């Protein structure tokens, strides 16, 4: 399950079913429960910059942030694994720069953030290789062409 927080002005440009598919494929890859949930918030550069400064000490906009938040919703029984925040402005810019659609870029960022929530990072070369391979596998499974996009940040 994904709790979406998408401004009305962006909703017509985003296919939420594709995020659900990406979440399902990622969870399956790790044998995770289907009752897991995340929150996906689409925001702008100003808001993500503020979050980046507060939580990472970096006073700059970024494309995506993930925040682990592991708890069980007592009403639904869903296990929330975290929150994902994506800057629409940065995603649009990166998509145009790389020649992909906005949807494809957003999906890649979402899968990337999910992998962080599942404990992966890309600070060391071996970790970067492992995470990049997993991300590419998942994206290929959902028919997304944005491959080899992880850097060492």
CATH number for 45:
3.40.390.30
Helices (H), 14-148: 16-29, 45-56, 88-98, 102-117, 125-141
The total number of residues shown for the chain amounts to 153
Mean pLDDT computed over 8-26:
94
Place of tokens 């998408």: 6
Domain range for 83 is 2-141
Q: How confident is the model at residue 52 (pLDDT cuts 50, 70, 90)?
A: very high
Tell me which residue has tokens 């949807």.
103
Task: Evaluate whether residue 152 is within a structural domain.
Answer: no
Instruction: Please indicate, yes or no, if residue 47 is contained in any of the structural domains.
Output: yes
User: Percent of the chain beyond pLDDT 90?
Assistant: 69
Fill in the DSSP letter of residue 78: -
Per-residue pLDDT tens over the stretch 100-144? 999 999 999 999 999 999 988 877 777 778 888 899 999 999 999
Question: Taking the model in full, what pTM does it have?
Answer: 0.92
Residues contacting 16, CB < 8 A, separation 6+: 2, 4, 6
Q: What is the mean pLDDT of residues 7-16?
A: 94
26 vs 122, residue with greater confidence: 26
DSSP 143: T
Whole-number pLDDT of residue 136: 93
Percent of the chain having pLDDT more than 70?
Answer: 96
Q: Is 7 inside any structural domain?
A: yes
- Residue 147 in any domain: the answer is no
With bands split at pLDDT 50, 70 and 90, how would you rate the model's confidence at 75?
confident
What domain count does the chain have? 1
- The residues, any chain, with a CB within 8 Å of residue 29's CB and separated by 6 or more, are 134, 137, 138
Whether 146 and 123 have beta carbons less than 8 Å apart is answered as no
CA–CA gap between residue 124 and residue 128 (Å, rounded): 6
Mean pLDDT of 58-75: 91
């Amino acid at each position: 399950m994904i709790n979406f927080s998408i401004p009305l002005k962006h909703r017509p440009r985003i296919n939420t079913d594709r995020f659900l598919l990406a979440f399902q494929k990622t969870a399956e890859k790790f044998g995770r429960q289907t009752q897991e949930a995340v929150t996906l918030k689409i925001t702008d550069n100003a808001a993500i910059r503020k979050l980046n400064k507060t939580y990472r000490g970096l006073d700059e906009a970024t494309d995506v942030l993930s925040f682990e938040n592991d708890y069980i919703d007592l009403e639904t029984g869903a296990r929330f694994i975290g929150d994902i925040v994506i800057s629409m402005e940065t995603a649009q810019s990166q998509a145009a720069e790389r020649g992909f659609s906005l949807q494809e870029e957003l999906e890649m960022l979402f899968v990337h953030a999910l992998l962080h929530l599942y404990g992966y990072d890309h600070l060391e070369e071996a970790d970067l290789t492992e995470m990049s391979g997993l991300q590419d596998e998942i994206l290929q499974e959902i028919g997304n062409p944005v491959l080899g996009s992880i850097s060492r940040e």
